[in-house]
Amino acid sequence: MKNESLYLYPVWLRIWHWLNALLFLSLIFTGLNLQYAKINSPIIDFHTAILIHNISGITLTLNYLFFFILNIISGNYKHYLPKLKNFAKNMLLQLKFYLSGIFKNEEHPFETSANQKFNPLQQITYLNIMYALFPLLLITGWALLFPEFILNKLFETSGLLLTAVFHTTIGFLLSIFMIGHIYLATTGTTILSNFKSMLTGWHVHENHIVKSQLTEITIQQVKNENEN
């Protein structure tokens, strides 16, 4: 089987990606500590957790602005925009692959290329994650950092409480996404190939055109052997 390599991930994108991952893990760990641990936790005390959480959140904001600006300047944002033609059909096709085809070693319905880094399901997911949930996480985080700017009440409920619940809920959803993201990253050409791609910038994938040609040659060889 012949594999092909494509340079899909420039240096700036890889720096953002790994820094984003480290900061988010820090926020998950300290966030859980703030939510459930006691004041004098043996792992990390409450006040230290607050400090680390706040510093990580501020740095995450700067990192997101870095991503947002470079994403536009470089034109990388185009990969997040799903094509409307046959959108629902392509989504279902990709979902079927994830639920069934991937376990049967079927060919991926949408090849990764320089023109399309993400499949339709990834596009709609990443679009909502990076341009909806992530900004909301940051906005609510800053609101909790400066609670004096939060409305005192909204629908007869504490504005601070609603902001905290909203922030926690978004954090939970993004944590679930991160778990799924890590799992799907192991389904590349090898278990570690996609992780290596985000270190080197080079994405390795199977050349299915070559695969098809080899399959046809093999079938023809079998036919010839049977005829002989």
What does the pLDDT look like over 72-125, one tens digit per residue?
Answer: 999 999 999 998 889 999 999 999 999 998 888 888 888 888 888 999 999 999
Mean pLDDT for the chain overall: 86
User: Residues 6 or more apart from 35 whose CB is under 8 A from it?
Assistant: 168
59 part of a folded domain: yes
The tally of domains found in the chain comes to 1
Q: Which of 144, 172, 122 shows the shortest CA–CA distance to 61?
A: 144
139 part of a folded domain: yes
79 part of a folded domain: yes
User: Token pair of 210, please?
Assistant: 């070559």
Please give the residue range of the domain that contains residue 31.
7-83+121-201
Cα gap 67→160, rounded to integer Å: 29
In this structure, is the dihedral angle defined by the CA atoms of residues 80, 86, 92 and 93, taken in order, positive or negative? Answer: negative
**pTM over 0.95, yes/no:** no
* Lowest mean pLDDT, pick from 2-16, 44-58, 153-167, 203-217: 203-217
Cα gap 35→27, rounded to integer Å: 12
| CA 100 to centroid of chain Cα atoms | 21
Separation in Å, CA 29 to CA 16, 22, 52, 59: 20, 11, 10, 16
Predicted confidence (pLDDT) at residue 1 exceeds the cutoff of 70? no
Q: What CATH number does the domain containing 27 carry?
A: 1.20.950.20
- Per-residue pLDDT tens over the stretch 35-70: 876 666 667 888 889 999 999 999 999 999 999 999
2 part of a folded domain: no
Residue 29 binned pLDDT confidence (cut-offs 50, 70, 90): very high
| The dihedral formed by the CA atoms of 128, 11, 175 and 194, expressed in degrees to the nearest 10 | 100
136 part of a folded domain: yes
Separation in Å, CA 201 to CA 18, 62, 112, 122: 12, 23, 14, 19
- Per-residue pLDDT tens over the stretch 190-211: 899 999 999 999 988 765 443 4
110 part of a folded domain: no
100 part of a folded domain: no
178 part of a folded domain: yes
Token pair 């947002």 in the structure block, residue: 68
Cα gap 137→64, rounded to integer Å: 11
